[in-house]
Structure 1
């Protein structure tokens, strides 16, 4: 199952709005017979790829899958039926399918006389599929807020200069994060200060994410901006009533305190098939997402640098006292060159 979880991760960034899934097929004697993963939306699912690799050796064998085999016909047929037809004797899956249109695969398999077990390495498989599971359960994309800061929490110096706080290794890792997400989002402040490109570089075969600029007044993205090139699709989010100032695709959203309605923005992205968002905006936009309860994971790149003054990584967020602080569960720390990458998820508040 650990191998299946590793295989599933290969599909990050290319399967939306579908989940990432990995599958390993063992023959009747328990030897590896085939493996596969869901490579792209509309393509064969992980089970089908693994069964094709296994061929006749699948008969009487075991399939280990990171997600309950689907039970419906969409752009591809039901995986539960494919497992039955292949003669699989036992299926072990990690995470139950919460999607009401696809669930029921386990029951179908049992009805066909196949032994079924659930829960092996469930936490690891669920973490790898966090974006899709969040989207199914909450009806909005999963949001990762990424920032780079000094050890004293500054994202720029007092004079506004910020290139480069973190190392080349950390910056390369950000491109990996982009490649794993469906959309990258920045705000007007970042757009004006950095003229970011937001496309993925240095990641072979990456599917370029949708580049989203939250530009409430519609004045930050000017002709010649790097996000308007052809490297990746671009969406501008502006307030209702703002006239068009660019040929780029534009969506108009309701205003909220200090900017746009973040939940409305996420609703638009969800409707487009976006299931994972990488928030790369500055402290104001990050604060708006936090205030909207729309940050699921935080990835912070900390450089061994002290600035003493300058903007902090987060502004606002609706937090005014220590009792309102958002508590995080650190899931990973990793050294990248001289820097430290900290990955954390939000801890659910007790009621």
Structure 2
């Protein structure tokens, strides 16, 4: 039978282990990748492609030069108010799909733009490209045969030509007024043939042009809403003035009105409140107060019907402006637990907005 180790032996063993352990140093930073579980081959391919395309975008950003500013200068002429010029974007194959997206992005951000298919251009659609326009051609090699007629048309009518290509020394590059070079980064596909990294860079370059134009022009949310009236985005940009009730729809009575008359007006408008406006002097037509259901409950025990509105109203009511976003107004209603706002411009009521107006418009 083995005897239990003595206390002395345990202490000696503990000391030996303590000497063998290294002193504590700064904690090592563990790379996130080392913690990731083993990925399937498909996931590894996906990561490799995404990293290759990300590296392509980094190279594109690093190589951006003065030609980018020149391209923005040329496109600014298209955006002049009152003009009829457009940016014409063209490309073949995968570059054509990217060109369509660039045209859509430019058009939605205040730069009139259209996509013209190079094959259709040779059969009549060249008539869509007019003097005063700007042409942007996309071609990875710069030697896309289908673009030849578009390029020739641009040169014939002195239409500015911007090229997006990997090769400055090419048919497209030599003809262009401005060349936006796409760096010669390897395509992400295993045979280095399918347009992947190159089309990602062209797509991002189109976004960069659109955003640079937006900032140069000071493009606003109001202008953006003009081109995006539908869908969730359009609802987020709806203004108070788009939903408010105005004119005779507003429940308003002048100061000095007996409550008996004010209640009739209040009931007839169905907003749950009534505004009190001034009659003379500097207060004429200004909103002096508001009477709500809550005010009526607070004065119900007195001689309510024979009182004047100014004795019952809440002075300096919460109001909103007509150019505020309706979503902002709805949020304020929820925070303050009220159902309607009077809309004020220069201290005078120009409308009234009810919570139900926002809900009906799909604003949440």
What TM-score comes out, normalization by structure 1 length?
0.24
Task: Give the structure with the higher percent strand.
Answer: 1
Q: Which has the larger radius of gyration?
A: 2
What TM-score comes out, normalization by structure 2 length?
0.23
Task: Give the structure with the higher percent helix.
Answer: 2
